[in-house]
Each structure stands twice: as C-alpha cells, then as structure tokens.
Amino acid sequence: MKSMKKNSQWMVQVSLMAAVVVVLANTPLGMIQLPVIKATTVHIPVILGALLLGPAAGAILGGTFGLCSVISNTLTPTLLSFAFSPFLSSTPIGSLKALWISVGCRVLMGAAAGWLWMLLQKCRFNPWIALPITGFISSMANTFLVMGSIYFLLAPEYAQAKNVALSAVKGLVMGTIAASGIPEAIAATVLVTGLGKALLAALHRNRV
C-alpha cells in the first residue's frame, strides 16, 4: 500500500514537471534572447526532474521535450525542421533519423542527467557543486547529442539545406555548439543551481 502511494506521488510529480516542459516548449518562456541567438530553456525542467525524481523521470521528461519538438517542427517547419520531424522526411530511414534526433537524444539526455546526479551524490559532492555540474554537463550533452547526430546522420541533407559544401558542415555544427550550446549551458547552470537547491529543500521537507 505504501509502495502504491509512493508510485502515485512520483507519477503526479513527473506529470507536473512534464506540464512545465510543455508550457515552456509552446511559449516564449522557453527561449532566452541573447545578443546574437536565442537559447532554449526547455531542457532545464528535464534536468531538474531527473535530479529530483531519478533517471526514469528524466527519460520521460526528455521524451516529452522531444515530442514537443516534433509537433513544433511539423506544424511550423523551418529550414532545418526535416532533422526534427519524421513527418517531413521522404524516406522511412530519414524518419527514423529525425525521430532519434528529436526524441531519442532528449530521452538519453534526461536519463543521463539523473545518472550523473546519482553519481555525484554517491561521491558525496556538496549540492552547491553537484547542481551546477549537473546543469552544465547535461545541457552540453543535449547540444552535443542533437548536433552530433545531425552531423553523423544527416550531413548531406544539412549541407543542402544550408546551401554549403559537405565539407563545411562540420564547421557549421561546431559553430552552432559554440554559439548556442555554451550560452544554453551557462543558463542551465545558473537556473538548475538556484531552482534545484530550493526544490531539493522542499522535497526534503515533504519527506520528513
């Protein structure tokens, strides 16, 4: 009985975090305007959910993030939406690649964030150190997984969409990682540290 109650509470908490992911993914709140580019914040509740509720929750929330990405890129496609929507591909293998990039990478990122937090906890890192480490590495993992997958799986299509030579794709991908991934990771470091400390304290009080 106690186990069922605990499982129900976990499901409710995951559902609430998933709702935050959906809200951020579908409103301007999911983007931070920087001088040159916009940095996404949608992965931040995924990371927070993973460290609060475990790797399984992180995977579910990452999947929610990915599905929101599929829907957004399908309904309002942009130049590179073919990499994130299986419905915009003309081949089955292309659809599978897009599904991996949009959903699979985010599921893996969410689970990895939970595993990283568990490792840091096992190593007895202070939360003020573990939280920024988890935020930064998890955010960079999201960028590297997505952009790395685009490079290895869709380099010719990426080159065609950007109207550049195939040899230029690596430089474009690395440029995106530097211009977008690093600012996103810094934002995640700050927000995961601040919000994570408050949420961990609240979770601890509820368990007492």
Angle at 17 between CA 16 and CA 23, to 5 degrees: 90
Lookup: tokens for 31: 């983007």
Q: How many Cα atoms are found within 13 Å in the side-chain-facing hemisphere of 83? A: 23
Query: Residue 207 pLDDT more than 70?
Result: no
- Measured CA to CA in angstroms, residue 81 lies from 35, 53, 103 at distances of 24, 31, 13
Q: What integer is the mean pLDDT of 101-107?
A: 97
Domains of the chain: 41-207 (1.10.1760.20)
CB neighbours of 177 closer than 8 A, spacing ≥ 6?
A: 143, 144, 147
Q: What integer is the mean pLDDT of 148-169?
A: 95
Query: Residue 34 pLDDT more than 80?
Result: no
pLDDT score, position 11 = 94
Does residue 141 come out as left (phi exceeding 0), alpha (psi in the -120 to 50 range) or beta?
A: alpha
Global pTM value: 0.93
Q: How confident is the model at residue 36 (pLDDT cuts 50, 70, 90)?
A: very low
Does residue 124 come out as left (phi exceeding 0), alpha (psi in the -120 to 50 range) or beta?
A: left
> What is the overall mean pLDDT for the chain?
91
CA distance 138 to 161: 28
pLDDT score, position 69 = 92
Lookup: tokens for 153: 């799986």
Query: Residue 38 pLDDT more than 90?
Result: no
